[in-house]
Structures are given as structure tokens and as C-alpha cells.
Amino acid sequence: MLQDGKVIEGGGEAKPMVDVKASCLCGSGQPAEKCHLDWDGRLRKQMPSLTPPGAITKFSHPSCYLRGTQNCSEDISREHYVSKSVLDQIGSTLRVTGMPWLGVDEALETSVASLTAKILCSRHNETLGPLDQEAALIFGKLRLALTDLDRKTLSRKPILHLVSGEMLELWMLKVACGIFYSVGGVENGQRLSAVSKIDLDKVSRAFFEDRWDERAGLYFRGDIGQGFKVSLDVAVAPLRDPETATYCGVRMELQGMLLDFLFDSSTTGPWPWPGFTRRPSELIFQRGPRTHGLVLSWPPGTPDIGVRLKHGKGPPRERLSFA
């Protein structure tokens, strides 16, 4: 299904070729040409509109972080900001590190129950729901691929799934906002929102207009071709510029991978950033002759950079914090 690409500048492998007659990687059973094949020869999952349906309400709920759109409902949602479908895939506790009031080795275990956050109105919470559904799908497929690679089998059938990179990216924005407003120290009740600033215009623009800061977005962190170890750990840390206290995004350690998400790049260092792969088009895990992984779809024109990782000893454990 995928041909080996050649290494291009910045690391990574270019141009996975799509076999248009083969079954679509979304799992529909249809040939790709009748399913997710887009006009530019790529497989692509279309983004649903995240704008709430119907006329603008012209109401801004003071507790909703998307209030700047003046399109809130009058009731606030009590739902978990990381929805249950996702937690079923990644586990019931989320390890949070890198909070400014925590020591470097300290982590905060957040239970599902404590993730109840009153930070979105019901109208906005509902409209962002598809992001959680896609994230749950992604983590489920990733787990399936990795656990299959971890067992010994003679089957060489690749397991590849088409998922939406765009939706994963926006889901991480949702998580970033949730952590900013609702995760705090249990004893002193500190919140990132009390000690950092956030540019909510950038948040709204990314969700509703697909407009981003330069170089903002989702990054795979690590060396392409590096080893990976199957692990079911999930940890999250805020990305925050300590000098200006600007909140920039979130880092997630997921099943042995490091993903960085950035929505505010105003305080980031000069380009290039070695070891960062922006908007990877594939995350492929190899063990001997077997390859499993995800094909991530992005808007037309996104450079095609695949990330391949080899089963074996993982990279040295990096402390999950912002530097």
C-alpha cells in the first residue's frame, strides 16, 4: 500500500503513494477512489464544521472560553472536557506534569471525576464533540497497532488507519484549554489561568477559521527512525513561556510518543527546531517486516512528511516539561 519514500530535508519520508483500487484505509471496505481519495491524490477526512448550527446567539457566557465568538448558550456544560470515549482509550487517570508550582519530578494525577470543568457553554461543548470522537478513534487504532506489534505473529499484514490529523490537532487545543482553566493543585487550588495569560482570539481563530500563528500546530517530537517502546502511559504538560507567562500549548506523551501542540508561537525561539516534525502525514511503527500505524490527513498543500519508528529500545526518557 505504501511505497518507501526518499528522505527529504528535515528528516522524514516523502510521498506515500495511494493505491486507488485498494480498500480505503478508513476501514469502509470501499476502494479508496470511491471513498476518501481527494482531488489531489491524497486520502483525506473532511473536517466537520465546528461552528454551532443556526443563527449566532449574540450571547457571551462569561465562563465559556469561546465567549469571544458571541455565540454561546446560556447554560454551561458540566461534561468532562476530555470526554469519556477518549478516557476509555487512554485510561481513567491523566498524569499532569510541568505545572509551574510543581517540582520537576512531581506529577499530578487527575481523576476522571475531577475533570468536570465548567469552561464551555453547552452550545460550544456540543459543537466540539466530534473532536473527542476522532481522538478516541485515533487512540484506539494506535493501541491496536502497537499491541499487535508487541506480540509475536507470522502475519505480515500491515495495519494502517486513516485518521484526521486536523481533528487531532484541534482536540489537543481543547485539552490545552481544559488544562489551562481547570487542572490545579488539590491543596491550594492553583490554576494555570491564575498565573499565565492566554490569547483567546488565537484559540477561537484556530477552532472556527482554521487560522493559525506561523509554525503553530501539532508536532511529532523525536528523531525519525528512532526506537520506540510500547507503553500505555499518557502524560500531559503545559507549554508556557516562563518569562512572559504566555501559555503556548501542550505536550502529550502518548503510548511512548511525544506530541507537542502549539497555538501561540509568539514567544518561541528562532526556526528551525531540530527534532520537531510538523503535521506528520504518517506515524508508522516497524518491527521486522511488519509495519503498523496511522495515516494522518491534513488540509491540501500540507507538506508530506512521514515518521517511521523502529520497535525496540525506546529513546532515553525525557522529563516532560517545557524548556
**Contact positions vs Zn ion (CB under 5 A):** 24, 26, 28, 35-36, 64, 66, 72, 121, 124
Distance (Å, whole) CA 318 – CA 254: 13
- Answer for the pair 169, 279: CB distance below 8 angstroms, yes or no: yes
Nearer to Zn ion, 58 or 151 (CB): 58
Smallest separation, CB 35 to Zn ion (Å): 3
- Closest distance of CB 231 from Zn ion, Å: 30
At its nearest, how many Å lie between Zn ion and the CB of residue 153? Answer: 26
Peptide bond into 272 cis (omega under 30): yes
Report the residue number, 34 or 319, with the smaller CB distance to Zn ion. Answer: 34
Query: In this complex, which beta carbon is closest to Zn ion, that of residue 33 or of residue 233?
Result: 33
Integer angstrom CA distances of residue 113 from 7, 81, 140, 215: 46, 11, 22, 35
- What's the grid cell of residue 127? 459543537
User: Shortest distance, CB of residue 50 to Zn ion, whole angstroms?
Assistant: 12
76 Cα distance to chain centroid:
25
Q: What does the buried/exposed string (b/e) look like for 295-313 if buried means 16 or more CB atoms within 10 Å of the residue's CB? A: bbbbeeebebbbbbbebee
Please give the grid coordinates belonging to residue 89.
Answer: 482509550
Distances (CA, A) of 211 to 62, 71, 84, 202, 204: 24, 19, 29, 8, 9
Q: Using the minimum distance from each CB to Zn ion, give the nearer residue, 121 or 283.
A: 121
CB of 70 to Zn ion, least distance (A): 9
Residue 275 CB coordination number (10 Å): 14
120-135 core/surface letters (b: 16 or more CB in 10 A; e: else): bbbbbbebbebbbebb
Name the residue nearer to Zn ion (CB basis): 26 or 96. 26
Whole-number minimum distance, CB 34 to Zn ion, in Å? 8
At CA 261, angle to CA 260 and CA 263, rounded to 5? 150
> Which C-beta is closer to Zn ion: that of 72 or that of 136?
72
CB of 84 to Zn ion, least distance (A): 21
Spatial contact of 164 and 134, defined as CB atoms under 8 Å apart: yes
Least distance CB 286 / Zn ion (angstroms): 24
CB nearer to Zn ion: pick between 124 and 202: 124
Alpha carbons within 13 A on the beta-carbon side of 302: 22
C-beta of 127: minimal distance to Zn ion in Å? 9
Q: Backbone dihedral region of 91: left (phi > 0), alpha (psi from -120 to 50 degrees) or beta?
A: left
Backbone angles phi, psi at 43, to 5 degrees: -80, 135
Please identify, using beta-carbon distances, which residue of 35 and 112 lies nearer to Zn ion.
Answer: 35
